[in-house]
Structure 1
Amino acid sequence: MRTEKVVFAFFIVLALTLNFGFFLGDLSNPLHHDVYELFAAIVVSLIATVLKFGDRTHLGSVFLATSLVADLQLIFAAIIWGINSQPGLPLEADTLATIVSLSGGALLANIISVILLVSETVNLRR
């Protein structure tokens, strides 16, 4: 077992699960979407992106592209949240819907990344 592959796969799958956890729930209910979970999803996604920089293969380029897409969408979601949040007031439903939709796009990019990881693993020969 190669430790670097375990760490690589761990962060890819963790980025997907954190993103899914934030995305899941009623689209307009702020109680279903925690800002700290979005923050954790961004941090783990950025770590996964850094880990993907070392791979010089074509598949590595696709891994990096999916990760960059997820990063951008999660960062834009956080920016929108930060701009539209006011102390003591809940987010408006349309703003939260935009944030969750951006998270959904990042979720799709993370799903593609995990599918690529699984297909690469299945195609490995000893």
Structure 2
Amino acid sequence: MIIMNMDKVISGFFIILAMTVNFGFVYGDLDTMTHHSKYELFAAIIINVIATVLKLGDRTQVGSVLLATSLVADIQLITAASVWTIATYASVVTSEVSTTIVSLSAGALLANFVSVLLYVGDTLKSKR
């Protein structure tokens, strides 16, 4: 019988979900905002923040790096949402602004990808 650590299952779920929702937002033409949903960006922010909170209790070296990658993703996604909000209410969302929004989100996607790689690597290492 395999006994699962539910904390690891929930943490892994949110780490991987954060990456996939972030990918869903980034996917599409850089300068066409109709390819990028504001609701998906909002979901990516919420899920990333949940993943960050779940990483707070880990006192290992890998846990510290996981937390750092999560904080980077949070900052970039929140900055992307802020740029989109300011551009929407202050002026017109140009292709330059939309490229900035998607580029910031792509940076968060890279941080999430590193987080998933570290999580999988740590999981494989702990099984040996």
Q: Distance in 1 between matches of 2:13 and 2:105?
A: 20
1:29–1:93 Cα contact (<8 Å) kept: yes
Contact kept? 1:19, 1:107, Cα under 8 Å: yes
Stretches of structure 1 that go unaligned for 5 or more consecutive residues are: none
CA distance in 1, matches of 2:103, 2:127: 39
The CA distance in 2 between the partners of 1:28 and 1:125, in whole Å, is 44
**Structure-2 residue corresponding to 1:50:** 53
1:66-122 Cα deviation digits (max 9, x unpaired): 0000000000000000000149x8621110000000001000000000000110111
Counterparts of 1:39-118 in structure 2, within 5 Å, are 39-86=42-89, 91-118=93-120
2:121 aligns with 119
Cross-structure match for 1:16: 19
With structure 2 as the length reference, what TM-score do the two structures score? 0.93
TM-score by length of 1: 0.95
Consecutive unaligned residues of structure 2, counting only runs of 5 or more, are none
Q: Shift of residue 25 of structure 1?
A: 0.3
Equivalent pairs counted in the alignment come to 125
Question: Offset at 1:2?
Answer: 1.1
Deviating runs (4+, > 6 A) in structure 1?
none
Give, as a single letter, the amino acid of the residue that structure 2 aligns with 1:94: E
Secondary structure of 1:85's aligned partner: helix
RMSD (Å), alpha carbons: 1.5
Give deviations 1:26-59, integer Å, cap 9, x for gaps.
Answer: 0011110000000000000000000000000111
